[in-house]
A and B are shown apart, each in its own frame.
Chain A
Amino acid sequence: MAKNLEKLGVTFETDVLIVGGGLAGNNAAIAALEKGARALIADKSSLYRCGAIAGGVDHFMAYLGTDTWDTQEAYLEWVGRIARGVVNLSVQNAVFCKELDAAIERMDRIGCTLKQPDGNFFRTQSLGQPGPYFINFNGKQLKPLLAKEALRLGAEVLEKCSISGLLTDGENVTGAVGFNIRNGNFYIIKAKAIVLATGNTNRLFENPSGLPFNTWQCPANTGAAQTMAYEVGAKLANMEFVRITVVPRGFSAAGLNALTGMGGKFVNASGEEFMSRYHPSGNRSPRYKLVEGVMKELYEGRGPVYIDCRHLSQSDLDHLKRTLGYDKDTLPDFIEQKGVDLGKDLLEIMPSEGMQAGPSEVCGSGILIDEKTASTAPGLFAAGDCADQMRCVHICTTGGYLAGKMAAEFAMGSGKEPKLRLPQIRELRKKAFAPMRTSGTISYRKVEDTLRKMLWQNAGPARNERSLQVALEKLEELSQCFKEIRAKNYHELMRVHETHQILEVAKMMCTAALARKETRFGVYHHRTDYPEVDEEYEGQIVLWKTEQGMKTSFKKLDYDKIPLS
């Protein structure tokens, strides 16, 4: 068996395999190693600078017990209100609240403190929060610091490795396969438990800038976990929402929270502060409301729209200028090269591209997890933006860590040696390299560009039963082109795999969107044929693979009781 395996590829063995070494995956590795398990992290990039936080982040949501709005109860009450109909409070309590204190302490310990140099927290309020829940911090070196800690604890790392499929023995997951994106080495990894942590899905919708890699979230994240989990029968939830944000015109960059948190105002062509027309929280409204406001102003002819920071005090402007690059390293360069001075000029903004991600900062979209971060497939755990209850730095940090602990417990408790099946590995290997062998001539980029345009048209911020059905038909037709997509080298092979994942996620999104016959989170799921919020839909659309294709069901969620234990 071992010899036969080695003929197929380079083999590895571990207790916990972590697919995706970004924020959640890196925290998972640290937890698994601290529990005494072996951990192997596989990532398409390097552990030092991979994923969404590669160039830095700047705010961490938390309650700190200083006031009545600043408690676990008040936080969960707000979460249940703002993410109603998608957030599972009992899971939130487990993946965030119970892990919060340890996470703040861990950030401090690895050298990425959440405190300012004077030892205090600098807190701001935005996105519909009842109080200043955001802690502003300097997260520029968070990724390399996390990487160092995982390596110090003994993590094994496979860099430039694109994972392409999961292995199962018919019951438990037993490992995964992937390939090196530079030299094409095929990797076979045997594992007792797996944490999937490959983030959300980008490059899914047409980009208003016309540049598909000019995305708000990381364009290397293309729904690998969602696709692979679906293949082995795990359930997914909250997949219907198209997340959009507001970005500087021309550059799909993070940084909105920094600007609005400091007091930036949204204004239209005539200088009117328009957000108060859309939501009582005005400039500090939830994100989906900000997007709706900006879109309406533009489409109804009151654009261009801007962020106005000219009224800020000199010290606030100085703070902003000093810290804006913490979130998106190159945003200050962009603003400067545009010739904009935030103290004197308006900054023009636009809606970003759409993506698959949680409809709120406090709830995710993706693989359905329980209080232990376990998916419905035995041995398979999910963390970070690919899990249905995690999103953003705060939950990816706390929940990633919990997933590592739980996976390590599962791996060490099972006592079972995973058994690999050679025919399964051969099949996945053949599939992985097929685009290098085809006689077809279509480029991945062509298929992706078509998909993005078509999906924005039919399943974007305005969708209805017919448009979603049309999208599904066209996605099926696009799937047929796959045999003809050619990869000229292993870098392109990675991109072809990503195109496949994007297409599979698009199918999940349209199927779930058809099942939710209401509108929720404004433009994030706007059914023009069901334009109102419907209380009947206070719960999740759950989807999974059957022999007859994709099935969905509805899971009601309870908001009567706030779990505090």
Chain B
Amino acid sequence: MPPVIDLQKCIGCGNCDRHCPLDVIHFDGVRNIPYVKYPDECWHCGSCRLDCPVEAITIRFGPEMLYL
């Protein structure tokens, strides 16, 4: 399962969009918010969370991984 972005905390810096090694997160320039565009392609590397300046990103694993 992909990362969860807390839009209440997000300040729209764009780091997660720019740094994701798999091009999973894209930035919606109109609404000025990031969104997870390709959830199935997340590698769970944690880069988006590491580089978010306001800790708006959490990683939650889905049942398909936790209970396999």
Interface residue ranges, A against B (CB under 8 Å): 44-46, 48-51, 54-56, 140, 159-160, 181, 209-211, 213-215, 218-220, 249-251, 253, 325, 328-330, 333-334, 337-338, 491, 494
Residues of B within 8 A of A44 (CB): 21, 23
A213-B45 in contact (CB<8A): no
- Residues of B with Cβ closer than 8 Å to A? 18-23, 37-38, 40-47, 49-51, 59-61, 64-68
Q: Given A211-B64, A251-B61, are A219 and B43 neighbors across the interface (CB < 8 Å)?
A: yes
Q: Which residues of chain B are near A211, meaning CB under 8 Å?
A: 40, 64-65
Interface hub of A328, A329, A494 (most chain B Cβ within 10 A): A329
A56 CA to B60 CA, complexed, in Å: 19
- Determine if A49 and B51 form an interchain contact, defined as CB atoms under 8 angstroms apart: yes
Q: Within the assembled complex, what's the spacing in Å between the Cα atoms of A251 and B63?
A: 11
Count the A-B residue pairs with Cβ separation under 8 angstroms: how many?
A: 98
- Known contacts A219-B22, A334-B66; 8 additional CB pairs below 8 A are A48-B51, A54-B19, A209-B64, A210-B64, A211-B40, A213-B22, A337-B60, A491-B37
Q: Is the CB–CB distance between B21 and A218 below 8 Å?
A: yes
23 A-B residue pairs with CB within 8 Å: A44-B23, A45-B20, A46-B19, A49-B21, A49-B50, A50-B21, A54-B45, A55-B45, A140-B50, A181-B23, A209-B65, A213-B43, A214-B43, A214-B65, A250-B66, A250-B67, A329-B45, A330-B44, A330-B45, A337-B61, A338-B66, A491-B23, A491-B37
Set of chain A residues within 8 Å of B19, measured between Cβ atoms: 45-46, 48-49, 54
Report how far A469 CA is from B36 CA in the complex, Å.
Answer: 41
Residues B23 and A55 in contact, CB atoms below 8 Å apart:
no
B contact patch SS: loop
A interface majority secondary structure: loop
Contact A494–B23 (Cβ < 8 Å): yes
| Contact A330–B18 (Cβ < 8 Å) | no
Q: Which residues of A contact B60 (CB under 8 A)?
A: 337
Q: Which residues of B contact A491 (CB under 8 A)?
A: 23, 37-38
Q: Please, which residues of chain B bring their CB within 8 A of the CB of A494? A: 23
Q: A54 to B15, alpha carbons, bound, how many Å?
A: 14
Q: How far is the CA of A251 from the CA of B43 in the complex (A)?
A: 10
Give the residues in chain B near A215, CB-CB below 8 Å.
Answer: 43
Minimal Cβ-Cβ distance residue in A for B48: A49
Q: How far is the CB of B16 from chain A (nearest CB, A)?
A: 10
A260 CB → nearest B CB, Å: 22
Tell me the complex Cα distance, A249–B21, Å: 24
* Bound CA–CA A49/B20 (angstroms): 7
For the complex of A and B, the 8 pairs showing the least CB-CB separation, nearest first, are A329-B46, A250-B68, A55-B45, A49-B47, A49-B19, A250-B65, A55-B46, A45-B21
CA distance A249 to B43 in the complex (A): 16
A209: chain B residues within 8 A (beta carbon)? 64-65, 68
- Cα A209 to Cα B65 in complex, Å, equals 7
Is B42's CB under 8 angstroms from A213's CB? yes
Within the complex, the shortest CB–CB distance from B23 to chain A, in Å, comes to: 6
Q: Give CA–CA (A54, B20) in the complex, Å.
A: 9
CB distance from B64 to the nearest CB of A (A): 7
Taking the nearest CB of chain A, how far is it from the CB of B41, in angstroms? Answer: 5
A331 to chain B minimum Cβ distance, whole angstroms, is: 9
Complex CA distance for A159 and B19, rounded to whole angstroms: 10
Min Cβ gap B34→A in Å is 14
Measured in the bound complex, the distance between the Cα atoms of B40 and A213 in whole Å is: 7
Could you tell me the distance in whole angstroms from the C-beta of A45 to the nearest C-beta in chain B? 4
> Do B59 and A333 touch (CB < 8 A)?
yes
